[in-house]
Structures are given as C-alpha cells and as structure tokens.
Structure 1
C-alpha cells in the first residue's frame, strides 16, 4: 500500500479515517510536570487537526478542555493547537495542579 492509499479506503459503516501523523512534547513550566503532548492527525481530505493530552478545567462548570487546532499542514495545526492551549492557560484566574487533567496516552 502506498503512503497515501489509506485515504481512498471505503468500508460500509465507517464514516471517517484519520491518521496520527505526528506527536510533539511541549515544555511549558506553568503546567504540572512542566510538559504536555500534542498529537496531529490527518484526515482523508488532507486537513490536519491537533489535540493536547493535557486539559484545563474551565471556570464555568469544571469540565476539562484541551487545546485543539487545525491547519493545512502539520506545522499549522501544531501552532494553532499550542496557541489555543495557551489561550486557555492565560485565562484571568489562578490555576493550581487540581485544575489540570492528563488524558490517558491511549485516549487522545
């Protein structure tokens, strides 16, 4: 199977396929353990989406929200994901370790 052949797979009952194309460790000293991870996925349309494995509980209801980003390349999705996470981190409130939730490695 060629590198891009996975994009043409069609199976009844499967609505989409995404491929994990990159994983990055991000050092940020304001978070527990000083680092978090971002995975970048590519969809069959050639678009990229990034997700963080570290979530911040929101001030409204305490629901943990991670950084999410999009782009036309791995680099664009990575940058957008980092910026989204940093926006959540810089909210106008004091955060402590209990405001952060790490997602299991197999679940993001």
Structure 2
C-alpha cells in the first residue's frame, strides 16, 4: 500500500521516522483559553503516540510537562494522552495561568 511505504525507508544515521497522523482540538475550561491541541504520531512499528501543545509546570522544579499517551490506534493514543494530561491537571494544587505554557504550533 502506497501510504505505508514510508515505514520502510532506511537512511544511514536516521534512527527513526514518525508521521503526524491526526490532530485534535480539546475544550477544557480549566486551562488558559479553555482549549488545547493534541497531535498523534505513528512510528514505523505501527504504534501511536500523542502529545499536547499545552504544558503544566511541575511542582518539583517548574519544568513544563505536557500530556503524553500511547496506543495501538489513533483513538487509544488520544484517550491515553487526554487522561495523562487530566492527571497532571488535577495534582491537588491550585493552578493559575502562569503555571501553563503553550508550545508553538510548529514545535510540537
């Protein structure tokens, strides 16, 4: 199948190739602007990974951490990513807008 040929590309010194296969807008009123975005990537093994464009500074050192998720399908990765983000959001602390960082659209 032509759409799957990218999984067979092998180039010296290139360790992996991932394809952005889906993008979702999530409405969540507890975050600045009330929404964030999730991108789902597929690797050459057919596994899917999701990443949020909104990160929350952690309590330990203030490092921004986004939601991440994995799955055997786009839907599984999306659900896992949303759940991971929501767990980070509900870490028994009060968050304000300065605790959030939006990643530039071209960088996530």
Task: Output the TM-score relative to the length of structure 1.
Answer: 0.99
Question: 1:32 offset after TM fit, Å?
Answer: 0.2
- Look up the match of 1:90: 90
Q: How far apart in 1 are the matches of 2:92 and 2:60?
A: 13
**Structure 1 unaligned regions, length at least 5:** none
Q: Which runs of 4+ in 1 moved over 4 A?
A: none
- Look up the match of 1:66: 66
- Look up the match of 1:51: 51
Question: 1:51 offset after TM fit, Å?
Answer: 0.1
Q: How far apart in 2 are the matches of 1:103 and 1:92?
A: 24
- How many matched pairs? 108
Task: Output the TM-score relative to the length of structure 2.
Answer: 0.99
1:46-97 superposed Cα distances (whole Å, 9 cap, x missing partner): 0000000000000111000000000000000000000000000001110000
RMSD: 0.8
**Structure 2 unaligned regions, length at least 5:** none
Q: Are 1:78 and 2:75 counterparts?
A: no
Q: How far apart in 2 are the matches of 1:60 and 1:17?
A: 33
